[in-house]
């Protein structure tokens, strides 16, 4: 590190490219009192499943868990809006003492009576894990009674970190999938996209132009019926690996659907991904059409990107996002804009993702796992970052430090995927990095002293 960190337990989670040989420590529980930016297991499960539009998402627990996650994603639907409600059994003290099982059964009955959903996800929260309500049995009984899918999600907040929630969500999805005996050529599933601001629709239009059918998106704008047909696809493409890597592996194992990793963030990744999809399908026609699409869109977009790029010379970026996939793409995307990433970290990145990150960044770049505000502040300041990419909690910190900021969170309302997303990204970098507002800040004492 060169300088001692205040909390020594955190040292292994921070490395500097080129200065340390040992791999970064990751995928571990957060250290008490370190103000982690991570949420919990329930959160991980909820964010993956929530975009399933016709599902009733019922949180079995006290009210807070449902309050804080009510419609938190910018996921869009082409059909049902049921997913945008926050349903909770709103457990009270007497339920905690005497058990919440009966209340849960009654809650499911009530939801079925009011909305007739085909699918209900029942999320377990911390206290349900402690008081021991038998979620599996209750859901099974309700499913039989109402002849619908009632799927328990084992997401008690304390049973791991956010990644455990991703896995719980994937397990829940796997319960929905059914072997159909049909395999459709040139039909693919898109894993790890949540249709934020219509991003899945943007990618669907590219694939359609290539003559490829987008079968099911996991889970952006998906429905219970659509998800059941997922096993018909001939290929899975996976964007957010943190949340769906496990699902992709399972689908390969159980339904023999191979998968490839893709990214539609930035010009280079978008073009590479479209080519890889055509190649993985062995579809030469699609490959030819992809080249036409890439050429046309690049010609249209590149001048716009170049115009912005000229404004960014010498500027440095910092990145702190949820997962490794996004972090990796952002390094490349900033390079397209002529910027270097000088600090990069994730909440739930995996070992191989950190290896990729390490191979991509320049010497001297600080890499952090499960960072906290104090570390972000310290390293952004030390590395001289001009801009931070992050989520809602990181935004005010960046602004308080006088640093530009890009929202790359799941409640954003503008697409960052594909060609239109690349332009939005460049424009957003421009709108924050080149804002006149920074001219008015006092220029002295930038460093942290307290």
Partner 1 sequence: MKEKKAACRNVNENPCNMCMPMGGILALKGIENTMVVLHGSQGCSTYMRRHISEHFNEPVDVGSSSLNEKGTIYGGEKNLKQALDNVRKVYNPGVIGILTTCLAETIGEDIGRFAEEYLQEKNGEEIFLVTAPTPGYGGTQAEGYFFTARRILTCLTKKSEKHNKINLIVSNISPADIREIKRILNLMEIKYTLFPDFSDTMDRPFQRPYRKMTPEGTKIEDIRKMSGAPATLQLGMTVEDALSPGKYLAETFGVPLYNLPLPIGLENTDRFMEVLQEVTGKGLPDSLQQERGRLLDGMIDSHKYNFLGRAVLFGEPELVYALTRTCLENGIHPVVVATGSRTAKLAELLQPYIEAAPEPVQILSGTDFAVIRKYGEAAEANVAIGDSTGRYLEEKAGIPLIRIGFPILDRMGGHRLLSVGYTGTMAFLDRVTNTLLDSKLKPYRSRMYDTFYRKAT
With H, G, I as helix, E, B as strand and everything else as coil, classify residue 267.
helix
**355: phi then psi, degrees, rounded to nearest 5:** -65, -45
Residue from the set 17, 38, 146, 289 that interacts with partner 1 by CB under 8 A: 38
**208-224: b (≥16 Cβ within 10 Å) or e:** ebbebebbbbbbbbbbb
Quote the tokens at residue 185: 């050529």
State in angstroms the smallest separation of the CB of 317 from partner 1.
Answer: 19
By CB under 8 A, the residues from 217 to 246 that bind partner 1 are: none
Q: Is 441 in the site for partner 1 (CB under 8 A)?
A: yes
Number of residues that bind partner 1 (CB under 8 A): 80
Binding window for partner 1 (CB under 8 A); candidates: 56-64, 194-202, 249-257, 299-307: 56-64
Quote the tokens at residue 437: 């507002």
CA-based nearest residue to 213, from 192, 240, 232: 232
User: DSSP assignment, residue 234?
Assistant: S
State in angstroms the smallest separation of the CB of 359 from partner 1.
Answer: 30
Q: Is 214 in the site for partner 1 (CB under 8 A)?
A: no
Q: Is 117 in the site for partner 1 (CB under 8 A)?
A: no
Q: Is 320 in the site for partner 1 (CB under 8 A)?
A: no
Which lies closer to partner 1 via its Cβ, residue 256 or residue 400? 400
Q: Is 306 in the site for partner 1 (CB under 8 A)?
A: no
Q: Is 3 in the site for partner 1 (CB under 8 A)?
A: no
55 with 81: CB under 8 angstroms? Answer: no
Which lies closer to partner 1 via its Cβ, residue 7 or residue 360? 7
Q: Is 123 in the site for partner 1 (CB under 8 A)?
A: no
242 with 394: CB under 8 angstroms? Answer: no
Residue with tokens 């220029």: 443
**79: phi then psi, degrees, rounded to nearest 5:** -140, -110
Query: d(Cα 342, Cα 47) in Å, to the nearest integer?
Result: 29
Which lies closer to partner 1 via its Cβ, residue 336 or residue 370? 370
Please, which residues have CB within 8 angstroms of residue 87's CB and are 6 or more apart in sequence? 56, 57, 58, 59, 66, 107, 111
Which lies closer to partner 1 via its Cβ, residue 43 or residue 305? 43
Quote the tokens at residue 421: 């997303």
By CB under 8 A, the residues from 258 to 297 that bind partner 1 are: none
Which lies closer to partner 1 via its Cβ, residue 97 or residue 313? 97
**329 sits in which H/E element:** helix 324-336
Please, which residues have CB within 8 angstroms of residue 80's CB and are 6 or more apart in sequence? 53, 54, 223
Query: d(Cα 147, Cα 411) in Å, to the nearest integer?
Result: 34
Which lies closer to partner 1 via its Cβ, residue 105 or residue 358? 105
First to last CA, the chain: 20
State in angstroms the smallest separation of the CB of 405 from partner 1.
Answer: 11
State in angstroms the smallest separation of the CB of 123 from partner 1.
Answer: 12
State in angstroms the smallest separation of the CB of 130 from partner 1.
Answer: 5
Q: Is 110 in the site for partner 1 (CB under 8 A)?
A: yes
Query: d(Cα 442, Cα 183) in Å, to the nearest integer?
Result: 63
With H, G, I as helix, E, B as strand and everything else as coil, classify residue 81.
coil
Residue from the set 24, 49, 66, 172 that interacts with partner 1 by CB under 8 A: 66
Which lies closer to partner 1 via its Cβ, residue 85 or residue 298? 85
Give the ranges where 177-323 is alpha helix by DSSP (H).
199-209, 224-228, 241-255, 267-281, 284-309
Q: Within a 13 Å sphere around the CA of 363, how many CA atoms are in the beta-carbon half?
A: 4
By CB under 8 A, the residues from 78 to 107 that bind partner 1 are: 85-93, 95-96, 103, 106-107
Which lies closer to partner 1 via its Cβ, residue 81 or residue 284? 81
Which lies closer to partner 1 via its Cβ, residue 226 or residue 378? 378
Binding window for partner 1 (CB under 8 A); candidates: 15-23, 40-48, 174-182, 185-193: 40-48
By CB under 8 A, the residues from 131 to 170 that bind partner 1 are: 131, 157-161
Query: d(Cα 243, Cα 245) in Å, to the nearest integer?
Result: 6
Helix 267-281, helix 418-433: angle, nearest 10: 160
Which lies closer to partner 1 via its Cβ, residue 380 or residue 426? 380
Residue from the set 127, 139, 257, 319 that interacts with partner 1 by CB under 8 A: 127
Is the preceding omega at residue 440 within 30 degrees of 0, hence cis? no
Binding pattern for the stretch 377-416 against partner 1, x by CB under 8 A and - elsewhere:
x-------------xxx-xxx-xxxx--------------
Q: Is 49 in the site for partner 1 (CB under 8 A)?
A: no
Q: Is 346 in the site for partner 1 (CB under 8 A)?
A: no
Which lies closer to partner 1 via its Cβ, residue 154 or residue 329? 154
């Amino acid at each position: 590190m060169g300088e001692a960190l205040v909390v020594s337990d955190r040292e292994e989670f921070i490395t500097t490219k080129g200065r340390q040989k040992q791999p970064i420590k990751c995928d571990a529980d957060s250290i008490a009192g370190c103000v982690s930016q991570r949420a919990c297991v329930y959160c991980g499960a909820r964010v993956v499943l929530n975009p399933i539009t016709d599902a009733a998402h019922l949180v079995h627990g006290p009210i807070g868990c449902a309050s804080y996650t009510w419609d938190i994603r910018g996921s869009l639907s082409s059909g049902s809006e049921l997913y945008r409600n926050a349903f909770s059994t709103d457990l009270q003290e007497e339920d905690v003492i005497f058990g919440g099982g009966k209340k849960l059964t009654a809650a499911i009955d009530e939801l079925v009576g009011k909305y007739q959903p085909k699918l209900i996800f029942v999320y377990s929260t911390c206290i349900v894990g402690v008081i021991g309500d038998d979620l599996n049995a209750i859901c099974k009984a309700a499913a039989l009674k109402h002849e619908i899918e009632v799927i328990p999600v084992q997401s008690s907040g304390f049973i791991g970190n956010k990644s455990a929630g991703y896995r719980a969500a994937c397990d829940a999805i796997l319960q929905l999938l059914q072997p159909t005996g049909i395999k459709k050529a040139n039909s693919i599933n898109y894993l790890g996209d949540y249709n934020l601001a219509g991003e899945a629709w943007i990618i669907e239009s590219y694939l359609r132009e290539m003559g490829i059918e987008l079968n099911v998106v996991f889970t952006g704008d998906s429905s219970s019926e659509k998800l059941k047909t997922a096993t018909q696809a001939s290929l899975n493409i996976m964007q957010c690996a943190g949340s769906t890597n496990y699902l992709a592996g399972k689908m390969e194992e159980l339904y023999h659907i191979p998968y490839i990793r893709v990214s539609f963030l930035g010009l280079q990744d978008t073009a590479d991904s479209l080519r890889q999809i055509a190649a993985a399908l062995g579809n030469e026609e699609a490959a030819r059409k992809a080249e036409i699409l890439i050429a046309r869109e690049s010609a249209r977009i590149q001048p716009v990107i170049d115009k912005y790029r000229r404004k960014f010379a010498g500027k440095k970026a910092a990145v702190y996002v949820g997962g490794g996939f996004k972090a990796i793409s952002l390094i490349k995307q900033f390079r397209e804009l002529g910027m270097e990433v000088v600090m990069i970290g994730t909440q739930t990145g995996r070992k191989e993702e950190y290896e990729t990150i390490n191979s991509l960044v320049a010497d001297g770049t600080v890499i952090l796992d499960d960072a906290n505000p104090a570390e972000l502040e310290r390293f952004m300041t030390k590395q001289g970052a001009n801009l931070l990419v992050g989520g809602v909690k990181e935004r005010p910190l960046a602004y308080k430090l006088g640093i530009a900021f890009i929202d790359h969170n799941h409640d954003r309302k503008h697409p960052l995927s594909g060609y239109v997303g690349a332009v939005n990204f460049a424009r957003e970098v421009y709108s924050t990095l080149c804002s006149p507002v920074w001219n008015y800040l006092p220029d002295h004492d930038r460093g942290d002293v307290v």
